[in-house]
Structure formats: C-alpha cells, structure tokens
C-alpha cells in the first residue's frame, strides 16, 4: 500500500500559500502555486491514523495498566487530558484530516472532472466526524476547517444529532454520486481510486452509522440500513480486499508504536476480560495477539524469551493501581518493576509498522448479521456471523506472515464455538469487540451502542464520580475550553456536563 510522507504536508502548505501585494517581478515562474487536491486527500487518509486509541482500549478492557501518570485514563475511569484530547487534537490539527478534507471539498465541489475526488472526500469526512462525535458529542462541524477558507478561527460547536443527520446525508449522496466513467483518482491510498471499492466503503460506513441508531430510533436505523445494503447502490464490503487501512513502515510508524514499543512498553498489559474471552474459547488469535515476555520492558525479547502458549496467558484485572494489584488473588508476580501479565505481541499486532484498520469486511459482516437478526435486512445470520469471524482471523496475516491463521483453524474454532441464535446479539457484538482490537474508538462506540460484550464494572476507588458504570464520552481538551470558551460553554449548556459520564446522543 502506498505511503504518503509527512514532509508532503509541509510541501502542501508552502506550495499553496501566497502573499498579497507582490509585484509581478517577484513571482517565480517555475515555482508551483498550487497542488493537485489529491495530495490533500491522501494526506487526510494518512493523518486519520494519527489519532491514538489507548484510552478507549482501556475503557473496553482490551489493554490495561495499573499505573497513574501519562498512561492513566480508562484504566482508572479518570480524566486525563493528554490521552483524552488525542482524537480532538490530531483530527482538528492544522494539517489534519478535517482541514485537509474541507479544503479538497471546497476545491472540487464545482469541478465535474474531479467529482469522484469530491465524493470520496465527503465519505471520508463522514468517517472522521463519526469518530469525533462518538468520542466527544457536540463538536465543531459546519464551520470546522474553514480558518484559511473563510477566516473562521473559533468555530461554533454543532449539535451532535444534527451532525449525524448530515453524515447520513453525505454518505448516501456521496456514495451514490461516485461514477466509474469519470476520472479515477489513483493517488488514493486505500484503493487507488477504485470506484467499486469506494462505493462499498461508503455503504459499509453508512451501515455503521445507521446501526448507531439501534436504540435511539430503530425506524431510522432500518431506513438507512436498507439503503446501505441495496446492491443497486454498490453493495457492502465483501472480502478483506475491501478493507480500508493504512500500512506503515520503519520510517512512518504506527501511532501506537510508541505506546507498545517505546518508553512505556513495560507498563502496558493485556486486559483480563479480553484474554479470558479468547482463552475460554481457544481462539487461535490469542497466540497472535498476546505474549508473556521474560523481560516485559524489552522492545523485542530475544528468541526463546517469549511465551505465546495460549494456556499461559493472563490478563491484568481492572480496578487496581501498582500497589493494590499485588494483592489480587492469583497475582502472577513481578520482574523488577514490571508484572508477569501478558502483553501485546510486538512481533505481530504490536509491530512498529503494523497497519491501522479503519473499516473492515469483518466489522461490516458482523454489523450486517445484527441487522438481519433485527429484521432490517435479508440474509443468513449464522453465515454472516461466521464470515465476520473468519475474515478477522484471515486479516491477522496482514500484520505479519507469522500471524497467519490457517483456514482449518478458523473452521475448527467455529465448530467448537457454534453460533447460537438465542445469543445472537451477544455473540455478534462480542466478536465485533475482538475484530476492532487496536481500533479503540470503534470498539468503544459499538460497546456503548450494543451493550456487548458484558464486561465487569471497573470499580477503581479513585474513579471520576460522574462514571456510574463505564466512561460514556471523553472530555474536551483543556486548551479548547479556554481558547474557544464561548462556543465551548454553549455546547456544554446544550449537551450536558463536560464529564466522562455524559452519554452521546445515541447511547441509550
């Protein structure tokens, strides 16, 4: 997969800037005065992966740490500005996807020759704002990204319900308007401009957005599920070839690489609920995902110093700090200042060049299985469920060839853990939780939407008092509260307290 170097962001800004009042003699005849907007778009795809997910992965109990400080947040149900502001700051960054996509849309809206780029940008902007709304609630939307275009430096926050209404509209219209007879945008990092795949991506994202309304407005959910699954509109993702992801390398590392391989590597462990779920079902993904290191602080343990035996993996329970965790029944012990709990496998899913998956066939198949189960679409729930499970197992090979799970092992897992119609929603969404591992934002959003998997409540004694069971949203960045104070206060007055316990509008 093609990579977009970060230096191109600087090049983009330099090449598109100008100073009014220069005389003609000061114009360099060989210097670019503008860049093809596809460069802005591919930068937006790449920079969408910069948002980190460690806070959210702690909330849904996939990873854990007993420590306070820079790694604290979801592990103790407390506010942590450096961790909670990651999505906001990276997505609204001057060179982030909100600004870049807004620029592309402005430049291509009235250009018939770039209609596909215009509509691809609408689709991807919808993805970015789903992450933002699902994380914070009300956020700047209609005025966002317009500091350069319209001089709006302090954008108003918009009602999250209205943002989602527009997201549904943009996805529906943008996907339908894609046209394979128009110029193809080969600079696209996901599919090199393949219109059939972009239609499937748009519809799959529409399915995801529609399912957010499951409890809030089932009729609306069904309405947009019907549009998303209609073959006449291009259909849904139907293989791992349709996965939307960014591949990193040794130069441009995965945004979580520093968390799993940097200075905090010895402080991050696998969550007990996640390990127990994989272990109890003898899931072949466990060996790929988790490992016990002889020296937990080593970036990559030496050969023979790693234990990937599924039977020996232990996840760290929630509700404890570095002192109280030692009193937990069955505490495995320590190695220096580190603990003998399982950690992420740094040779596979925790590699510095691991891919970042945004929307996958596995997730889409599982959501469709739920939609069929609810009577909002037609199909075989069991077949869709099994396809979703197998797709994620097959997806593991994308991380590393050593992570390949043979089809025989996939089938054996499904035979040993059969689909049970009476437990359909729990099974489907528990597998969605696994399929969304390392995409904490989506794992957390679907957990709040569906209520599955059933996780033990984190009863850490020092938790934020607004959290009754699980964190429902993240608070706005401290800087935003002071710099954009008037608009921030208006949003809070409309939405409710800027607290971890205030739910998103669809979280019923």
- In three-state form (DSSP H/G/I as H, E/B as E, the rest C), the secondary structure along 21-71 is CCCHHHCCCCCCCCCCHHHHHHHHHHHHHHCCCHHHHHHCCCEECCCCHHH
How high is the pLDDT of residue 19? Answer: 41
Cα separation of 155 and 104, whole Å?
19
257/271 Cα distance (integer angstroms): 18
**289 CB neighbour count, 10 Å cutoff:** 28
Task: Name the domain count of the chain.
Answer: 1
Q: Does residue 410 lie within any of the structural domains?
A: no
459 occurs within a structural domain: no
pTM for the complete prediction?
Answer: 0.93
Are 464 and 421 a contacting pair, CB within 8 Å?
no
pLDDT for the residue 165: 99
Cα Rg of the chain (Å, integer): 23
- Which range of residues forms the domain containing residue 313? 257-344
* Dist CA 378 CA 374 (whole Å): 10
Q: How far is the C-alpha of 104 from the C-alpha of 102, rounded, in Å?
A: 6
pLDDT value of position 110: 97
Closest CA to 127 of 187, 201, 39, 189: 201
**292 Cα distance to chain centroid:** 26
Residue 243 lies in a domain: no
User: What DSSP string runs through 189-247?
Assistant: TTTTT-HHHHHHHHHHHHHHHHHTTTTT-HHHHHHHHHHHH-GGGT----SGGG-EEE-
Instruction: Tell me the β-bridge partners of 253.
Output: none
Mean pLDDT, consecutive 10-residue segments, the chain of 508 residues? 42 40 44 79 94 88 92 92 90 94 98 98 99 98 95 97 99 99 98 99 99 99 99 98 95 85 84 99 98 72 77 97 96 91 94 96 99 99 99 98 98 99 99 98 98 97 94 96 97 98 97
Residue 307 and residue 456: Cα distance in Å, rounded? 27
Q: What residues does 63 pair with on adjacent strands?
A: 270
* Beta strands 244-246 and 356-359, pairing class: antiparallel
CA 393 to centroid of chain Cα atoms: 18
pLDDT of res. 7: 36
| Model pLDDT, residue 6 | 42
Q: For residue 294, is it within any domain?
A: yes
- In angstroms, the CA 200 to CA 371 distance is 17
pLDDT at residue number 285 = 99
* 291, part of any domain: yes
User: pLDDT value at position 143?
Assistant: 98
Tell me whether residue 301 is in a domain: yes
- Within 13 Å, how many C-alpha atoms sit on residue 134's CB side? 25
- Whether 317 is covered by a domain: the verdict is yes
pLDDT at 337: 84
Contact 323, 264 (CB under 8 A): no
Any idea which residue has 């043979």 for tokens?
406
Write down the pLDDT at residue 2. Answer: 44
Give the phi and the psi of residue 157 in degrees, each rounded to 5: -80, 140
Per the domain annotation, does 100 fall within a domain? no
């Amino acid at each position: 997969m093609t990579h977009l170097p970060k230096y191109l962001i600087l090049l983009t800004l330099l090449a598109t800037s100008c100073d009014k009042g220069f005389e003609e003699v000061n114009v360099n005849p060989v210097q670019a005065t503008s860049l093809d907007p596809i460069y802005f778009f591919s930068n937006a795809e790449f920079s969408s992966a910069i948002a980190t997910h460690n806070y959210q992965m702690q909330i849904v109990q996939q990873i854990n740490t007993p420590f306070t400080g820079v790694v604290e947040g979801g592990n103790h149900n407390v506010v942590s500005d450096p961790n909670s502001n990651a999505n906001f700051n990276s997505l609204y960054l001057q060179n982030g996807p909100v600004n870049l996509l807004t620029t592309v849309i402005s430049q291509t809206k009235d250009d018939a020759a770039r209609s596909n780029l215009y509509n691809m940008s609408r689709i991807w902007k919808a993805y970015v704002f789903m992450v933002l709304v699902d994380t914070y609630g009300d956020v700047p939307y209609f005025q966002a990204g317009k500091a350069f275009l319209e001089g709006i430096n302090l954008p108003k926050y918009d009602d999250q319900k209205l943002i989602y209404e527009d997201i549904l509209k943009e996805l529906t219209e943008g996907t339908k308007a894609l046209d394979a007879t128009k110029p193809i945008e080969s600079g696209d990092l996901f599919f090199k401009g393949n219109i059939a795949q972009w239609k499937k991506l748009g519809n799959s994202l529409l399915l995801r957005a529609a399912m957010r309304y499951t409890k809030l407005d089932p009729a609306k959910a069904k309405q947009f599920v019907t549009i998303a699954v209609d073959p006449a509109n291009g259909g849904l993702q139907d293989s791992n070839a349709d996965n939307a992801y960014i591949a990193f390398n040794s130069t441009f590392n995965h945004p979580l690489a520093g968390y799993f391989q940097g200075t905090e590597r010895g402080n991050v462990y696998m969550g007990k609920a996640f390990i127990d779920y994989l272990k109890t079902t003898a899931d072949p993904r466990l060996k790929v995902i988790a490992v016990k290191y002889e020296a937990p602080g080593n970036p990559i343990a030496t050969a023979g110093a790693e234990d990937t035996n599924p039977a020996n993996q232990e996840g760290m329970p929630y509700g404890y700090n570095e002192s109280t965790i030692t009193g937990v029944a069955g505490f495995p012990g320590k190695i220096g200042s580190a603990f003998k709990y399982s950690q992420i496998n740094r040779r596979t899913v925790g590699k510095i060049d691991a891919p970042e998956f945004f929307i996958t066939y596995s997730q889409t198949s599982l959501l469709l299985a739920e939609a069929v189960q609810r009577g909002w679409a037609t199909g075989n729930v069991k077949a869709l469920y099994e396809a979703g499970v197998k797709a994620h197992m097959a997806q593991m090979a994308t991380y590393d060839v050593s992570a390949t799970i043979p089809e025989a092992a996939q089938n054996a897992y499904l035979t040993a853990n059969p689909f049970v119609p009476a437990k359909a929603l729990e099974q489907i969404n528990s597998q969605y939780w696994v399929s969304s591992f390392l995409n904490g934002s989506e794992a957390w959003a679907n957990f709040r939407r569906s209520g599955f998997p059933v996780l033990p409540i984190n009863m850490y004694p020092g938790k934020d008092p607004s959290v009754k069971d699980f964190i429902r949203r993240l608070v706005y960045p401290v800087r935003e509260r002071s710099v954009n104070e008037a608009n921030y206060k208006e949003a809070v007055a409309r939405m409710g307290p800027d607290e971890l316990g205030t739910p998103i509008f669809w979280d019923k």
